[in-house]
Amino acid sequence: MSSLTDLGAAAMLAALRTGEVSSHELTRACLERIQDLDSSYRAFLTLTPELAMKTAAAADRRWMDWRKDPQTPPPPLLGIPLAVKDLLCLKDVRLTCGSRILDQFIAPFTATCVQRLLDAGMVPLGKTNTDEFAMGSSTENSAYQVTRNPWNLERVPGGSSGGSAAAVAAYLTPAAIGTDTGGSVRQPAAFCGVTGLKPTYGRVSRYGLVAFGSSLDSVGVLARSVEDVSLIFAQMAGVDPLDATSQDVPVPDCSMDGVKSLAGLRVGVPHEYFIAGISPDVEKAVRSAISVLEGLGAQIVEISLPHTSYALPVYYLIAPAEASANLARYDGVRYGLREGGRIPGDTLLAMFEKTRGLGFGAEVKRRIMLGTYALSAGYYDAYYGQAQKVRTLIKTDFDRAFEQVDVIAAPVAPSTAFKFGQHSDDPLAMYLEDVFTLPANLAGVPALAFPAGFDRQGLPVGLQLMGPHFREDLLLRTAHAYQLVTDWHRCLPPTPNLAKVN
Ligand code: GLN
């Protein structure tokens, strides 16, 4: 073992089980690596070293108890360090959502999915950077810092879960939690060369996830292998009485035992995902990944998802509309920042205006304005109402496709990681980065991104698999079969700082 931080979650568990390492050692190794390297990546917004070391010590005591008395199995993630996107509540820890408006806010409770991971034995290392309120595709919209892509420090890590993706790619943590409203787990996973799952809408509780687009938001996982993603996903999933949209559908067995061949699996390839504008390198890597699936026995079927081109305008009406309602709560009264309202003559309205004017960044303001417009009397039917109808057509596309095929394979994003500032002045160009990820959110289906090669500049390319509602197991098992015969997910970022690790 060259370095403890090289280990993925499953390998860490195996080493903890044999007693080869302690959670104390694993956690310390991650924290030291963060200390040494995160000034280059800037993936973390808040670190929780005391909480981490305390939790690790408790995990080690439990492992010792288990060794003395192996009757009761230890919790499934006992002693594994993890990072959490700073859009999810962890009690008594700062929660910023990448926004100034929540700068000093301390979470008063823990999100259900995070609590489930804690109950399963997770050791929380800290909170990772995000675009403000998860609005963005590059993490450049964070009010605090710019996170760098470990594959090339001049490039964005993708977004909005860019902090989580960079932390996993740079071996600062074996895995991290992200959120995905329109692609925010999958696109940064693809840009940073890691594996990321967006579960079915309703599969993982949203209680304690700060709302962006409530009908689209889902909590997912990023790690360096499908096996690790699956291990963690299994602990987060399941119905929660605190989230009325969470679904009581049994979580299928996501173990990877016996996965090898894909014989009998029908993989649909939608021609609408290979449009003009997609980078030729991305298309080449994606097509060759699809032929690897074919080589494993899958049957490749050309399919059509005819309403794909509407996903972008539909999403950019529905998501801002929901965001404008969800963000109305940041008024300077109940949460975080308050500006004005203290001097005589300062009205309540002035306080709202000053607080929101100073607290929100440009992209959040743009979304609030777009969303408020789309919902306003007179325009509601023409924009929001119409978008909802087209959303149904997009969902129907998927329903029809899944009568024909088991999973759908497609690119994650039209390009690989772009340079800082490349899309900063052009919101539309930034929104276009999401064309291939938005449909799964609009339809509510699960989707998985995983490494499928590199472009000519040495930047990772991802393959996306989408599946029927609640069939994350199909996606995970298919991708695992792929990872058994390919090495893309094992490649390390070649940054000078990481040269020592092999
Ligand atoms: N990039 C998309 C947006 O800006 C998706 C973000 C997300 O999934 N949170 O809305």
Q: How far is CA 68 from CA 62, 243, 379, 380, in A?
A: 10, 39, 67, 65
Residue 308 lies in a domain: no
Q: Give me the pLDDT at residue 277, please.
A: 87
Residue 197 maps to a domain:
yes
Q: What is the Å distance from ligand 1's center to 263 Cα?
A: 35
Q: Which of 22, 142, 161, 184 is catalytic?
A: 184
2 token code pair: 């060259």
Look at residue 342 in the predicted model and tell me its pLDDT: 77
| Domain-located, residue 358 | no
Cα separations (Å) of 37 from 8, 139, 291, 496?
18, 19, 37, 11
Give the nearest ligand 1 atom to 433 CA: 1
E-only strand ranges, 58-211: 81-85, 123-128, 175-180, 195-198
pLDDT at 498: 45
Q: Which residues of the chain have pLDDT under 50?
A: 1, 496-502
Domain membership of residue 161 (yes or no) is yes
pLDDT given at position 258: 77
215-260 tens-digit pLDDT: 999 999 999 999 999 999 999 999 999 999 999 999 888 777 778 8
Quote the strand ranges of 218-342, DSSP E. 218-223, 266-270, 299-303
What are φ and ψ of residue 416, in 5° steps? -90, -175
Residue 318: predicted pLDDT: 98
Q: Has 309 been annotated as catalytic?
A: no
Taking CA atoms, 446 is separated from 73, 292, 320, 405, in Å, by 30, 22, 22, 15
Residue 236 included in any domain: yes
**pLDDT at position 2:** 63
Q: Peptide bond preceding 304: is omega within 30 degrees of 0, i.e. cis?
A: no
Quote the number of domains for the chain. 1
State the residue range of the domain holding 420: 3-267+404-501
What pLDDT shows up at residue 1? 40
Q: Is 184 in the pocket of ligand 1 (CB under 6 A)?
A: yes
> Among 23, 99, 137, 160, which one carries the catalytic annotation?
160
Which CATH number fits the domain that encloses residue 95?
3.90.1300.10
180 lines ligand 1 (CB under 6 A): yes
- Ligand 1: which residue has its CA nearest to atom 5? 182
Q: Which atom of ligand 1 is nearest to the CA of 179?
A: 9
From the list 231, 207, 208, 204, the residue with the least C-alpha distance to 220 is 204
Which of 22, 85, 164, 205 does the annotation list as catalytic? Answer: 85
pLDDT for 251 equals 86
Establish whether residue 317 lines the binding site of ligand 1, counting it when its CB lies within 6 angstroms of any ligand atom: no
| 282, 303 Cβ separation under 8 angstroms | no
Any domain includes 309: no
Phi, psi of 180 (to 5 degrees): -140, 110
The dihedral sign for the CA sequence 339, 141, 163, 203:
positive
- Cα–ligand 1 centroid distance for 315 (angstroms): 9
* Paired strand residues for 266: 299
Q: Give nearest CA residue, ligand 1 atom 4.
A: 136
CA-CA distance, 242 to 246, in Å (whole number)? 8
184 given a catalytic annotation: yes
Instruction: Determine the Cα–Cα distance for residues 325 and 256; give it in Å rounded to an integer.
Output: 41
Active site residue 205: no
Domain contains 458: yes
Looking up tokens 């969470």 gives 246
With a 6 A CB cut-off, is 162 part of the ligand 1 pocket?
no
Helix, strand, or coil (residue 125) = strand
pTM over 0.95: yes
| 14 alpha carbon – ligand 1 mean position (Å) | 36
Residue 56 covered by a domain: yes
Residue among 88, 365, 418, 434 whose CB has most ligand 1 atoms within 8 A, to mutate: 434
